[in-house]
Structures are given as structure tokens and as C-alpha cells.
Amino acid sequence: MVDPAIGAAGDIDTAVIMMRFENGVIGTIDNSRKAVYGYDQRVEVFGSGGAIRSDNDYPNTALISSASSIHRDLPLNFFMDRYVEAYVDELRTFIRCIMEDTPPPVTGIDGRQSILMGYAARKSYAEHRPVILSEVGIGD
């Protein structure tokens, strides 16, 4: 949809993934390789008791409003600008876990699950059907 060369290479440029968790919760992921208005990354969670949203980061918080439009800067584009604090927090947590001999809050199992979700999504796309994580798990 975005660039025919991506499809010709056998890859996907636009996708929507729907997940149903064991507890019945539904999650969706919308992905596109192109957002003409800047690098767009948002997370929203809706529930019966409320909602939470994490929005894009911007170079500043200024909004310029007129009778005909509202303008603001594009979201931060370079990943080091977007994630610098996250990288610092990861390093601090890692060092604290070593110094205090405590387990990390995120484990290799957590990372593995996200990889399995990606494999399941790819298998679902290739086979045009829902895929259960255990179908792509190795040694589960």
C-alpha cells in the first residue's frame, strides 16, 4: 500500500493485528511504514473502568491556533530522541539489579513472548487464519 518495492521484496508495509488473550481481552496493533505527519507511536488501553493513553513525544508543547487551523511540530522522529530516557532507565535498572542482586522487572521470557507474537502474526498472514501462540512456540 505504501511502497510497491516492499511488497515485491515479500514484506508488508501496512497491517492490523488482532489478538485475543486467554482472559478474553482483545488487543489490536495498527502498523504502517509511513506516516506523512511524522513518526507516530501511541498506546491506548480502554476498559470498563476507564482508559489510559500514552501519546507521541514532540519537540515542544506549543500549539498555534487561528480561526482556520491548529498547528504544532511533528512528533520526534529519530529513535534516540524518542527513547533516550527509556535507555537511561533500562541501564539504571540493570545496574540496580546487579548491585542489589534482584531479578530484573522484565525477563527474557517477556522478550520471547513478543517474538512469538510476531511469528504468530506472520503465520496468520501467510495462512489467512487465526494462529495460537503455542503453534509457533519452540519447546513449549
Q: How many domains does the chain have?
A: 1
95 falls within a domain: yes
Residue 18 has what pLDDT?
Answer: 94
Residue 123 has what pLDDT?
Answer: 94
93 falls within a domain: yes
Instruction: Measure Cα distances from 138 to 19, 53, 107, 114 in Å.
Output: 20, 34, 17, 14
Q: Quote the CA–CA distance of 10 and 125 in Å, as a whole number.
A: 12
122 falls within a domain: yes
**Band of pLDDT at residue 138, cut at 50, 70 and 90:** low
At a CB cut-off of 8 Å and minimum separation 6, what does 19 contact?
Answer: 26, 27, 28, 29, 117
Tell me the per-residue pLDDT of 8-56, one tens digit each, with 9 for 90 and over: 898 888 999 999 998 999 999 998 888 888 888 889 999 999 999 998 8
10 falls within a domain: no
53 falls within a domain: no
Residue 2: closest CA among 47, 49, 36, 34: 34
Helix (H/G/I), strand (E/B), else coil: 20: strand
Range of the domain at 94: 78-129
125 falls within a domain: yes
Q: Quote the CA–CA distance of 111 and 113 in Å, as a whole number.
A: 5
Q: What percent of the chain has pLDDT over 70?
A: 98
Question: Average pLDDT, stretch 64-75?
Answer: 93
Question: Average pLDDT, stretch 93-113?
Answer: 94
2 falls within a domain: no
Instruction: Kindly report the average pLDDT of the chain as a whole number.
Output: 90
Query: What ranges in the chain are assigned the alpha helix state H?
Result: 4-8, 79-100, 108-127
9 falls within a domain: no
